[in-house]
Structure 1
Amino acid sequence: MERLIIQSANILFPDSKFYKQSADVLIEDGIIKAIEAPGKLTVSKGTKLIAGENQFLAPGFFDLNANFGEPGFETKEDFITGCATAAAGGFTGVVLQPNTNPPLHSRSEIAFIVNSAKDAPVDIYPLGTITKNREGKELAELYDMKLAGAVAFSDGDRSLQHAGLMSRALLYSQGFDGLIFSYSEDKSIAGKTKMNEGEMSTYLGMKGNPNMAEELMISRDLFLVEYNDSPIHFSTISTAGAVEQIRKAKKKGLKVTCDVAAHHLLLTDDELISFDSNLKVRPPLRSKADRDALIKGLKDGTIDAIVSQHTPHEVEYKKVEFEIAEFGIASLQTVLPMLLKAKLSLELIIEKLAINSRKVLNIEPIQLKVGEQANLILINPNELWIFDSKSNRSKANNNPLFNSELKGKVSLLIHKNKTLIL
């Protein structure tokens, strides 16, 4: 029997009576047995003691947007390395995008993910595609995938261009409490652009992707949501206009949620002066004004959740000219230090990364209560560490923070009766 006590940790479970206070937590075989003021728990022989002073005990993070390669792209990331990376970043639950080969577009692919990940140290939730092969032409078998374990539906990094098809998807999924995730980009506006349209794109002589490409598609989908009285979730919004549209839609009473990628809260298109291909993402890094609007939207509740948008790539797809490099950052392990560097409070980070992210999918909240299975992390916001080949748990290193010193780290993760000292 494993018995451990986390001593004098600052509690950041909002529903706990010890919220923002220090407490000792006793865990036996993965079950929370006692929560008391510091020094009140009996330390018996064989009890493992974890020093929690100046650290924060919080629910395990939950990511609504991550890419693992399996099936088909295991050289980018497989379940083993993906889960190890997620755990190192403090994530105890991850929603997988359907950007695989084959895509997660039928019952069999969803069942493969569910069965392959059932013993993983991290909870894995697959997204089924909206359309067959993510081609945007014909609806996939949404209900069959829901029965097999799909938690929602998305065409991943492909925006559904056909308005009628999106309308039918919203209406059909409503019949069985399905949820559509929309990645919003009007391809006729965005074209084959590689970065944001703005002063920096003009300076660099590169054709830019305007805010309008995202905002037009969000506007269309909001009309469809109102018409069908259906829920929708917007993935990785990136512009000030998108925030304002969603803010107005929520005030209007529409069933709308949304998330933002961590890197859009810290980095801007000004960084691209270096032509670092690790900064090439979709949607692109936007302007400082957009970044400020995203942070404001987080704080006022317009934006529900923060995601990693973890997108690992083999070295040959990133260490090339910016123009031909693939999009994406392998970011699961660096979300926390990135958000701390963006000067977000721990309370806000936990709300958007552990609590609201589960609410989007109606997943039971994680509670710090006697008798509950432990699903928690211990955060040291001041720990300095080097993110390099030794500490990286992913197969990929396409991350602009690679080989740099970061501040903020998850030092302990307990989930599924597994204790990981990180």
Structure 2
Amino acid sequence: MNARIVQAKLIDDNHSLNGKLVDLRIENGVLTEIAESLSAKKDEEIIELKDLHVSAGWFDSSVSMGEPGYEERETLKNGLQVAAKSGFTGIAVNPNTKPVADDSAVINFLKTKSSGHAVDLYPIGALTQNGAGIDLAELYDMQQAGAVAFGDYQHAIKNPNLLKLALQYTQGFDGLVLSFPQENDLVINGMANEGETAIQLGLKGIPALAEHLQITRDLYLLEYAGGKLHIPTISTAQSVALVKAAKEKGLDVTCSVAITNLFYTDAALHDFDTRYKVLPPLRTEEDRKALVAGLEDGTIDMVTSDHNPLDIELKKLEFDHAKFGTIAQEATLGALLQLVSAEVAVKALTKGRERFTGVRTQVRTGETANLTLFTTEGTNTFTKEQIRSKSKNAAFLGAELRGSVYGIIANNQFIAS
């Protein structure tokens, strides 16, 4: 594609023109010029939009697709379109498929089926065989096939020796290990944050302690074994403090927060609406504020949508029986801009790519154009009409959001929202 982006505010704190209005020229998919003003060239598409902002393309570190095996929830083709129209140029896809992505064959399927799209798909391989938490999966083979990290989605590793071995083994090929932060023996049949709301509603609790114990254990294992650890979707104030202390000790650890936990508290559960049944559960206002503060000071490395499409048979049930999960990609920018500045939002939406893929996407001349276009202006109420996913289990329905995504430019394609 050949295009000129006109008078866009550049959000890139490593660029000399950060915060300035600039023109950007793309020729055959490569970013060839960036300046405060560029003259027109023949046969180039003009992209000129109100309050246009541009940043490096966003990366979502936790996305569930469905395919293979659960195509009724989401297909790869539609899911990649959802990601593109939500502003993401890269997504890490969880291994909760059928079959579980625990060998090179499934990883190859995901890579092959997703090729040619504007959005790059990066598979996360299961850490253990069939995600059962007993024996390590074929980690090296999956890495060779294209897996960028290894973890059992929303399943904690009970056996500490297994996690220790994974951290040691993956050092041989610079692999990234994910460990879901939950001590399962403290969460038997838990449905919601253990606290006042759960007591009032008669719901079995998931104590914050379960998260703190698992993170503390995993950080001790990381200090002992070495390696690279990512803790997905932390949800409490104490978890932020634990990760911050580990980073100050020099441990190679990162963490993410789900946009739902950043935006909502367990007060949303009072109507027993299963759209708000997520894992980790929505916590207290104190926790939510600590998560925002942790994002702003850099303790929390990235925000994920933790996008998990589920069909109506799994969500429109009594609260106890409904499955954990919500879709959130379509609302991620709008929710985030209600909480933090555009600069903080962009950092949170771009930092994950380097951690997971080893590649840092930048707005630089000579680089393949990998950009997200958005506006920070305007507020809107999120409605069903804005849902592009096949599944409709959206916690953000009715939420007041700020700004919107205009589209992405990636892999020599412009996808408008």
TM range (shorter): over 0.9
- The amino acid of 1:369's aligned partner reads R
Note the 1:236-315 alignment, pairs <5 A.
236-315=233-312
Whether contact under 8 Å (1:5, 1:25) holds in the other structure is yes
Residues 1:346 and 2:353 aligned together? no
TM-aligned CA deviation for residue 81 of structure 1: 1.0
Which of the numbers 389, 392, 395 marks the counterpart of 2:390?
395
What are the ranges of 5 or more consecutive residues in structure 1 without an aligned counterpart?
Answer: none
Match of 2:25, SS state, is strand
**How far 1:292 moved relative to its partner?**
1.2
Q: 1:16 Cα deviation (Å)?
A: 2.2
1:417 aligned residue (407, 412, 417): 412
Q: Matched residues in 1 for 2:128 and 2:63: separation? A: 19
CA apart distance, 1:166: 1.3
Q: Which residue of 2 aligns with 1:33?
A: 32
Say yes or no: does 1:51 pair with 2:22.
no
Query: 1:367 aligned to 356, 362, 370, which one?
Result: 362
SS at match of 1:10: strand
Tell whether the 8 Å contact from 2:50 to 2:375 is kept in structure 1 after alignment.
Answer: no
Separation in structure 2 between the aligned mates of residue 294 and residue 188 of structure 1, nearest angstrom: 25
Q: 1:98-129: CA deviations, max 9, x gaps?
A: 01111000111111111111212210000111
Partner of 2:6: 7
SS at match of 2:337: helix
Q: 2:332 aligns with which of 331, 335, 342?
A: 335
Conserved 8 A contact 2:118-2:409 = no
For residue 128 of structure 2, what is the aligned residue in structure 1?
131
Instruction: Tell me, yes or no, if the aligned pair for 1:105 and 1:132 is still in contact at 8 Å.
Output: yes
Deviation at 1:268, TM superposition (A): 0.3
Check the 8 A contact 2:89/2:370 in 1, yes or no. yes
CA shift, 1:165, in A, is: 1.2
Equivalent AA in structure 2 for residue 344 of structure 1: V
Q: What SS does the corresponding residue of 1:377 show, helix, strand or coil?
A: strand
Whole-angstrom CA distance in 2 between matches of 1:312 and 1:180: 24
SS of match in other structure, 1:124: strand
Q: How many Å separate the matches in 2 of 1:143 and 1:364? A: 19
Q: Which moved more, 1:403-412 or 1:312-321?
A: 403-412
Letter in 2 for 1:183: F
Alpha-carbon shift at residue 176 of structure 1 (Å): 1.8
**Given the alignment of the two structures, is residue 198 of structure 1 paired with residue 195 of structure 2, yes or no?**
yes
Call closer, same or farther: CA 1:76–1:291 in 2, change over 3 Å. Answer: same
1:353-400, Cα deviation, whole Å (9 max, x unpaired): 11x212322532222222221111111112445644443221011112
Q: Aligned partners of 1:19, 1:393: CA distance in 2, in Å?
A: 32
Does 2:163 correspond to 1:166? yes
Is the contact made by 1:7 and 1:53 (CA closer than 8 Å) also made in structure 2? no
Specify the code of the residue in structure 2 equivalent to 1:324. H
**Distance in 1 separating the partners of 2:50 and 2:397:** 29
- Read off the aligned partner of 1:415 and give its amino acid letter: A
For 1:189 and 1:74, locate their aligned partners in 2 and report how far apart those are by CA, in whole Å: 33
- The separation in 2 between residues aligned to 1:405 and 1:306, in whole angstroms, is 19
| Shift of residue 312, structure 1, vs aligned partner | 0.4
SS in 1 for 2:331: helix
Q: Provide Cα deviations, 1:76-97, integer angstroms capped at 9, x if missing partner.
A: 1111111011011100000001
Distance 2:400 2:258 in 1: 21
Q: 2-side partners of 1:33 and 1:255: how far apart?
A: 35
Aligned residues: 417
Contact preservation (8 Å) 2:58, 2:349: yes
TM-score by length of 1: 0.95
Alignment partner of 1:148 out of 145, 151, 159: 145
CA distance in 1, matches of 2:322, 2:193: 16
Query: Secondary structure at 2:269's aligned position in 1?
Result: helix
Cα 1:221–1:404, aligned 2, differ >3 Å: closer, same or farther?
Answer: closer
The superposition leaves residues 215-236 of structure 1 with CA deviations (integer Å, 9 ceiling, x where unpaired) of 1111111111111122211000
1:25-67, Cα deviation, whole Å (9 max, x unpaired): 12223222222213xx222444332224522111111011110
Please give the per-residue CA displacement for 1:241-284, whole angstroms capped at 9, x wherever unaligned. 11111111111111111111111111000111121110000000
Q: How many Å separate the matches in 1 of 2:68 and 2:35?
A: 45
Hey, what's the Cα distance between the residues in 2 that align with 1:170 and 1:3? 45
Partner of 1:382: 377
Q: Is the 8 A contact 2:328 2:395 kept in 1?
A: no
Query: 2:149, 2:175 within 8 Å by CA — same for their partners in 1?
Result: yes
Cα distance in structure 1, aligned partners of 2:227 and 2:363: 33
Q: Percent identity?
A: 38
Instruction: Please report the TM-score for the alignment, with normalisation by the length of structure 2.
Output: 0.96
What is the aligned partner in structure 2 of residue 83 from structure 1?
Answer: 80
Q: Note the alpha carbon deviations across 1:190-217, whole angstroms, 9 max, x for none.
A: 1111100111111112121100111111
Structure 1 runs (4+) deviating above 6 angstroms are none
* 1:338/1:16 CA distance change after superposition, 3 Å: same
* SS at structure 2 position matched to 1:183: coil
Going from structure 1 to structure 2, the CA distance change for 1:255 and 1:285 (only over 3 Å counts) comes to: same
Whole-Å separation in 2 of the counterparts to 1:404 and 1:304:
25
| Of 306, 319, 322, the match for 1:322 | 319
Please report the RMSD computed on the Cα atoms of aligned residues, expressed in angstroms: 1.5
